[in-house]
Amino acid sequence: MNIGVLTGGGDCPGLNAAIRAVTKRGIDEYGYNILGIKNGWDGLVEGNVAPLTLYSVSGILPKGGTILGTSRRNPLKNREDWHKVLDNIRKFELDVIVAIGGEDTLGVALKLYDEGVNVVGIPKTIDNDLQGTDYTFGFDTALYIATEAIDRIHTTAESHHRVMVVEVMGRHTGWIAVMSGIAGGADCILIPEVPFSIEEIVKIILGRKKRGKTFSIVVVAEGAKPKEIKELVTRSNKVDEFGHIYLGGIADVLGKELEKRTNMETRVTILGHIQRGGTPTPFDRILATRFGVKAVDMIKEKQFGKMAALIGSSITTSPIEEAVKEPKKVPVELYEIAKVFFR
Ligand code: F6P
337 falls within a domain: no
Asked if residue 190 and residue 124 are part of one domain, the reply reads: no
Active site residue 104: no
Asked if residue 301 and residue 268 are part of one domain, the reply reads: no
Residue-wise pLDDT for 142-153, tens only, equals 999 999 999 999
For residue 313, count CB atoms less than 10 angstroms from its CB and return exposed for 0-12, middle for 13-18, buried for 19 or more: exposed
Asked if residue 191 and residue 236 are part of one domain, the reply reads: yes
pLDDT value at residue 82:
98
Mean pLDDT over the full length of the chain: 97
Asked if residue 90 and residue 218 are part of one domain, the reply reads: no
Task: For residue 3, report the phi and psi dihedrals to the nearest 5 degrees.
Answer: -110, 120
Across the range 321-340, mean pLDDT stands at 97
Q: How far apart are the first and last CA of the chain?
A: 59
Asked if residue 124 and residue 150 are part of one domain, the reply reads: no
pLDDT value at residue 330:
98
pLDDT confidence band for 97 (50 / 70 / 90)? very high
CA neighbor of 194 nearest in space, from 217, 178, 216, 218: 178
Asked if residue 267 and residue 284 are part of one domain, the reply reads: no
Q: Which CATH number belongs to the domain containing residue 316 in this structure?
A: 3.40.50.450
Domain end call among 257, 276, 295: 276
Question: Half-sphere exposure of residue 85, counting CA atoms within 13 Å on the CB side?
Answer: 25
Asked if residue 168 and residue 94 are part of one domain, the reply reads: no
Across the range 229-254, mean pLDDT stands at 94
CA torsion sign for 83, 27, 287, 141 is negative
Residue-wise pLDDT for 16-52, tens only, equals 999 999 999 999 999 999 999 999 999 999 999 999 9
Residue-wise pLDDT for 120-140, tens only, equals 999 999 999 999 999 999 999
Residue-wise pLDDT for 272-304, tens only, equals 999 999 999 999 999 999 999 999 999 999 999
Whether the CB-CB separation of 138 and 273 falls below 8 Å is answered with no
CA–CA separation, 165 vs 49, rounded Å? 44
Residue-wise pLDDT for 190-224, tens only, equals 999 999 999 999 999 999 999 999 999 999 999 99
State in Å: Cα 133 to ligand 1 middle. Answer: 20
Nearest-CA residue for atom 15 of ligand 1: 10
The total of other beta-carbon atoms located within 10 Å of residue 254's CB is 26
DSSP H helical ranges for the chain? 15-24, 30, 41-46, 79-91, 103-114, 139-160, 175-183, 198-210, 250-262, 282-300, 320-325, 332-339
For residue 327, count CB atoms less than 10 angstroms from its CB and return exposed for 0-12, middle for 13-18, buried for 19 or more: buried
122 falls within a domain: yes
CA–CA separation, 79 vs 102, rounded Å? 23
121 falls within a domain: yes
State in Å: Cα 1 to ligand 1 middle. Answer: 34
The residue from 11, 42, 104, 127 that is catalytic is: 127
Across the range 90-112, mean pLDDT stands at 98
State in Å: Cα 235 to ligand 1 middle. Answer: 12
Q: What is the DSSP string of 217-256?
A: EEEEETT---TT--S--EEEEEE-TT--EEE--HHHHHHH
For the chain, the residue count is 343
Quote the pTM value.
Answer: 0.97
Alpha-carbon torsion, ordered 98, 103, 105, 110, to 10 deg? 60
331 falls within a domain: no
Q: Domains in the chain: how many in total?
A: 2
pLDDT value at residue 319:
98
335 falls within a domain: no
Across the range 175-186, mean pLDDT stands at 98
- Coil vs helix vs strand at 77: helix
Task: For residue 100, report the phi and psi dihedrals to the nearest 5 degrees.
Answer: -105, 110
CA–CA separation, 270 vs 255, rounded Å? 11
Asked if residue 25 and residue 99 are part of one domain, the reply reads: yes
| Domain membership of residue 33 as a residue range | 2-138+280-323
pLDDT value at residue 315:
98
Nearest atom in ligand 1 to 126's CA: 2
Asked if residue 129 and residue 193 are part of one domain, the reply reads: no
341 falls within a domain: no
295 falls within a domain: yes
CA neighbor of 99 nearest in space, from 73, 80, 63, 128: 73
Nearest atom in ligand 1 to 72's CA: 15
Asked if residue 226 and residue 254 are part of one domain, the reply reads: yes
Asked if residue 250 and residue 292 are part of one domain, the reply reads: no
Asked if residue 64 and residue 8 are part of one domain, the reply reads: yes
pLDDT confidence band for 335 (50 / 70 / 90)? very high
- Coil vs helix vs strand at 188: strand
pLDDT value at residue 102:
98
Q: What is the DSSP string of 263-290?
A: -S-EEEEE-GGGGG-SPPPHHHHHHHHH
Enumerate residues lining ligand 1, CB below 6 A. Answer: 10, 72, 102, 125-127, 169-171, 222, 247, 276
329 falls within a domain: no
Of 222, 270, 276, the one to substitute when testing ligand 1's pocket (max ligand atoms within 8 A of C-beta) is 276
CA–CA separation, 323 vs 39, rounded Å? 22
pLDDT value at residue 304:
98
pLDDT value at residue 323:
96
**Residues 97-127: b if buried by 16+ CB within 10 A, e if exposed:** bbbbbbbbbbbbbbebbeeebbbbbbbbbbb
pLDDT value at residue 49:
98
CA torsion sign for 9, 14, 15, 16 is positive
Q: Which CATH number belongs to the domain containing residue 230 in this structure?
A: 3.40.50.460
